[in-house]
């Protein structure tokens, strides 16, 4: 089965490929020659995921899923949330985003946060939504060089290491995206039996 993952992010693509069954041939936007920057104009993660998946399905006529992920920090009233990728500006620079977030949390005791991933799937003419959440805390500094985005400053509950320090297979097993993709994978397995 071929399925498009509406992303230009090679890190995300690789992470998701490791989580889906081998029977699914995962295609990126590059693979289908889609080089458009699909605007994320939704006010929620779910809306942004739907916008991207619908664009691919309507433009290319292909089954597709898209995700949107946000880091929601309690002390910042749920920010950066839907603006996580461009928190420090439209350049979408992870280092800038982490620096801004750490600066805004300076001196704050409550460092609780959670990552949430929302997935929108267009499959055989129907739409489906899956999500995944992982709770944790924001560290006071960057630790580890693994992962991407905010991973070096997010320490999941029950762990002493950040997502940036954890081995990829451990991170994938407990992460927000891993949990959402697991729901997607189970759904697709049942559809392909």
- Look at residue 110 and tell me whether its pLDDT is greater than 80: yes
Cα separation, 113 vs 134, whole angstroms: 9
CA distance 163 to 152: 6
pLDDT of 193 > 60? The answer is: no
Element (H, E) at 25: strand 25-27
Q: How many CA atoms lie within 13 A of 154 on its CB side?
A: 27
Which one of the listed residues 31, 68, 74, 131 is annotated catalytic?
68
Buried b (16+ CB within 10 A) or exposed e, 135-167: ebbbbeebbeeebebbbbbbbbeeeebbbbbbe
CA distance 123 to 54: 11
pLDDT of residue 87: 96
Instruction: Name the strand (E) or helix (H) holding 66.
Output: strand 64-73
Task: Report whether the peptide linkage leading into residue 80 is cis, meaning its omega lies within 30 degrees of zero.
Answer: yes
**pLDDT of amino acid 39:** 86
Active site (annotated) includes residue 31: no
Contact 120, 107 (CB under 8 A): no
Nearest to 130 by CA among 181, 90, 82, 79: 181
Mean pLDDT, residues 70-79: 97
Enumerate domains of the chain plus CATH numbers. Answer: 2-192 (3.90.950.10)
- For 66: left if phi > 0, alpha if psi spans -120 to 50, otherwise beta; the answer is beta
What pLDDT score was predicted for residue 27? 95
**pLDDT at residue 192, rounded to an integer:** 64
Helices (H), the chain: 10-19, 45-60, 94-105, 168-174, 176-192
């Amino acid at each position: 089965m071929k399925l498009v993952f509406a992303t230009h992010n090679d890190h995300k693509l690789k992470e998701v490929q490791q989580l889906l069954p081998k029977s699914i041939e995962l295609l990126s936007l590059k693979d289908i020659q889609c080089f458009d920057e699909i605007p994320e104009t939704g006010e929620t993660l779910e809306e942004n995921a739907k916008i991207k998946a619908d664009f691919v399905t309507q433009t290319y006529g292909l089954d597709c899923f898209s995700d949107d992920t946000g880091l929601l920090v309690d002390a910042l009233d749920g920010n950066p949330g839907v603006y996580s990728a461009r928190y420090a500006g439209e350049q979408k620079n992870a280092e800038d985003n982490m620096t801004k977030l750490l600066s805004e949390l300076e001196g704050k005791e409550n460092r609780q946060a959670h990552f949430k991933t929302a997935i929108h799937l267009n499959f055989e003419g129907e739409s489906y939504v899956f999500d995944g959440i992982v709770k944790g805390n924001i560290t006071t500094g960057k630790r580890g060089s693994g992962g991407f985005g905010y991973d070096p400053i997010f320490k999941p509950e029950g762990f002493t290491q950040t997502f940036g320090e954890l081995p990829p297979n451990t991170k994938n097993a407990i992460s927000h995206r891993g949990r959402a993709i697991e729901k997607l994978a189970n759904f697709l397995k049942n559809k392909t039996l």
